[in-house]
Amino acid sequence: MPSPFLTPGTVAQADNVALLHLRRDQTIPTILRATDDQNLGYKEGKVSNTRFGSFPHSTLINQPWGSQIVASKVDTGSRGRRGPGNKRKAEELDASGTTTPAEEESSNLKKPEAASSGFLHLMYPTPESWTLSLPHRTQVVYTPDYSYILHRLRARPGGTVIEAGAGSGSFTHAAVRAVFNGYPTEETTGKKRRLGKVCSFEFHEQRATRVKEEITEHGLDGLVEVTHRDVYEGGFLLGDPDTGRSPKASAIFLDLPAPWLALKHLVRKPPSGAESPLDPNTTAYLCTFSPCLEQVERTIRVMRQLGWLNISMVEVNHRRIDVKRERIGLDCEGIRGATVFPKSVDEAMLKLRTDDERAKRLRLAHSDGTRVAYSPEEDSTMPKDQQQATYDMGRLVHRTESEIKTHTSYLVFAILPRDWSEEDDLKCRQKWPSNKIDAEPKPAPKSRKQQKKEFKELRLQEQKEENEGRQREEEQEKQPTEGTGDV
């Protein structure tokens, strides 16, 4: 079954996970089923009840993603009546012919009737929306962090990511989308093309079981392999901790209380002689996620001892800035969020004068016995030519959103160069033998600085030679010439 997280298609299909989007900050994940054991008793089959009404799944299945679905009136008439005594026996079901119990039951379902109000939007799941709607079993990694982590880990289609611990599976879903390049089918498993995969480890038994169930429900079997293990002790091999298969990972994410205890397993040649969980042919990229600096220090110390390079620490501080206009003034009456109060002494005086004049007019009209129609425009404190458009009113202010969902931790990144053996060196020499290097290397082009220096030196040399020549000539002139005296 293709996963709606990776290839959602155009319509919501039965037995797939879907998100019931109620409003910006409220989304309910559900598995779409016409009938379900948990919803026995509704004549319409499986029903999701929300604050905006009841939604029988028969109104959601096969609807295009993004559709607005209207709530239904549901019949709870038979709820609770279906006790254990009323359950049909297995033999009875077997004998009931070709239709499966679900098919039979769905054909007996009551057609839902639209309610007078209430609706939701039917959305396909994404790692981001899943992070915001998943049932929390632990603290989770949020989108601002995991998008940056996956980028720094070079997680890309066809890669293998090791993750520990799995926790609530928030990071797992983002990681599998980053490495996804196809579903494992019988035709592809034997071939050379490497499929992206996430190898997830979790030592808490119930959490490991729940993550495995969710992976199956979300159609991610074969793309995510969850192992129930204490990675400090057992390491990262798949199957047996000592003799199991290597995941051959090039990216590792550790969200553990003591990541430094797991690092001893992330080496090229484990001292135990077991296989390394890292891909020997590529650089390994590692990230640890720790809330305290003391944890960061210990992790970095062990990273250095084990030969990890390019170690750096980052804290992702994601803030959304809320920009709005702050409107104050008596002319802001009826505007949502505005403070209706004089914004200046002039405005307060104008208001007093207008009120006074209106009171006078009313008194006069009362004594005359005539009716005065009230006009809010007349009452406005602002002269008409000075009145502003609503969107342009007030002072522009901005505030950072305080309640943004993000769990700030320190991210430590490091890389471990690929394994390099003597054999690799030999292969490399054979492929690129040193005699292939140019016999006469061309002289490197001279820089302008070098050219200037050489020119200066040449000039000096010439001047020196000129001076020496002149000196010699002068000396020769001074000496009396032999045999030239007067006779």
Ligand X SMILES: C[S@@+](CC[C@H](N)C(=O)[O-])C[C@H]1O[C@@H](n2cnc3c(N)ncnc32)[C@H](O)[C@@H]1O
Q: Which residues bind ligand X (CB under 6 A)?
A: 138-141, 164-165, 167-171, 201-204, 207, 230-232, 255-257
Of the pair 33, 265, the CB lying nearest ligand X is at: 265
Nearest to ligand X of 80, 135 (CB atom): 135
The answer to whether the beta carbons of residues 223 and 198 sit under 8 Å apart is: yes
Nearer to ligand X, 72 or 290 (CB): 290
Quote the least distance from Cβ 233 to ligand X, whole Å: 7
Which residues, in sequence order, are CB contacts of 460 under 8 Å at separation 6+?
none
Displacement of CA 338 from its chain's centroid (Å): 36
Q: How many CB atoms lie within 10 A of CB 369?
A: 6
Please, what is the minimum distance in Å from the beta carbon of residue 166 to ligand X?
Answer: 6
> Which CB sits closer to ligand X, 144 or 169?
169
The number of beta carbons lying within 10 Å of the beta carbon of residue 374 is 8
Nearer to ligand X, 139 or 283 (CB): 139
CB of 145 to ligand X, least distance (A): 9
Within 297-376, strands assigned E span: 309-315, 321-326
Which helix (H) or strand (E) is 431 found in, with range?
A: helix 422-431
- Indicate the residue among 232 and 308 with the shorter CB distance to ligand X: 232
Nearer to ligand X, 244 or 280 (CB): 244
Q: How far is the CB of 218 from ligand X (least distance, A)?
A: 14
The distance of closest approach from Cβ of residue 199 to ligand X in the complex, given in angstroms and rounded to an integer, is: 12
DSSP letters along 68-136, please?
EEEEEE---TTTTT--GGGSPPHHHHHTT-SS-HHHHHHHTPPPPEEEEEEEEEEE---HHHHHHHS--
Q: Which helix (H) or strand (E) holds 138?
A: none
Phi, psi for residue 286 in degrees, rounded to 5: -125, 145
Closest approach of ligand X to the CB of residue 341, in Å: 48
For residue 153 the two structure tokens come to: 């880990």
- Smallest separation, CB 116 to ligand X (Å): 40
Quote the CA–CA distance of 333 and 379 in Å, as a whole number.
12
How many Cβ atoms are within 10 Å of 254's Cβ, its own excluded?
24
The pair of structure tokens assigned to 247 is: 């995941």
Rounded to 10 deg, the angle between the 170-179 and 143-152 helix axes is 40
Closer residue to ligand X, CB minimum distance, 12 or 179: 179
Three-state DSSP at 233 gives helix
CA–CA dist 405, 320 (Å, integer): 11
Nearer to ligand X by Cβ, of 74 and 175: the residue is 175
- Which distant-in-sequence residues (6+ apart) come within 8 Å of 251 by Cβ? 153, 154, 155, 159, 160, 161, 162, 284, 285, 286
Q: Count how many residues are written for the chain.
A: 487
Indicate the residue among 44 and 145 with the shorter CB distance to ligand X: 145
- Quote the least distance from Cβ 294 to ligand X, whole Å: 17
Least Å from the CB of residue 201 to ligand X: 5
State which residue, 28 or 261, has the beta carbon closest to ligand X.
Answer: 261
Question: Which two three-digit tokens encode residue 10?
Answer: 């155009």
From the CB of 412, what's the least distance to ligand X, in Å?
15
User: In whole angstroms, what is the distance from residue 327 CA to residue 336 CA?
Assistant: 9
> In the bound complex, what is the minimum distance in angstroms from residue 176's beta carbon to ligand X?
12
Q: What is the DSSP string of 292-315?
A: SHHHHHHHHHHHHHTT-EEEEEEE
CB of 184 to ligand X, least distance (A): 24
**What tokens does 206 get?**
């119930």
**Which CB, 294 or 477, lies closer to ligand X?**
294
- Dist. CA 287–CA 148, nearest whole Å: 11
